[in-house]
Amino acid sequence: MKQILTRDEALSLKLWQREITLKERGIEPVEPHYCIVWEDPDDFDASPCITTPSPMWLAMAMHGDVLPPVTVYPLAVDDKGRVIEGHGLHDNVVPAMTEEQAMEYLLQKDVPRRVWDAPEGSNMRRFVICRRDMIPTDRGYRNAWKLTQRKEMENAA
């Protein structure tokens, strides 16, 4: 991917300024091939959720030197769910990612921690990163979808 924004230049800008700069300089959106299908362990009756990155966000992740480290996102919140520490540490950037790495970043950033950070000894499958073409285009029976819990046979005959 063509370098539109240098690391030094990115470090001198705030996150929202980096995004605007890349858009102004003509970064090409990248259509995502993957999505995250996940179930909330606190709501067993809910249908699975599907998280797909926007083409512009994916382009920025694959360009590199735009997004902050994913560790800045689990911010402290009060008992009403309001952020109390603000968006500190956005002054650092991560290098270019592959689409697969970007999906793992998005998982940790946008999907609740209780979904992807399973407790020790838990064997329930709560999410899967899959190709978008594996998701049915007809969402008529979406409320009946469930993630399968069976393991693939290691030594299939």
Residues 6 or more apart in contact with residue 119 via CB below 8 angstroms? none
The domain ranges of the chain are 7-134
State pLDDT tens for residues 6-49.
899 988 888 889 999 999 999 999 999 999 999 888 887 888 88
Single pTM value for the model: 0.79
Q: With 0-12 CB in 10 A as exposed, 13-18 as middle and 19+ as buried, what is 59?
A: buried
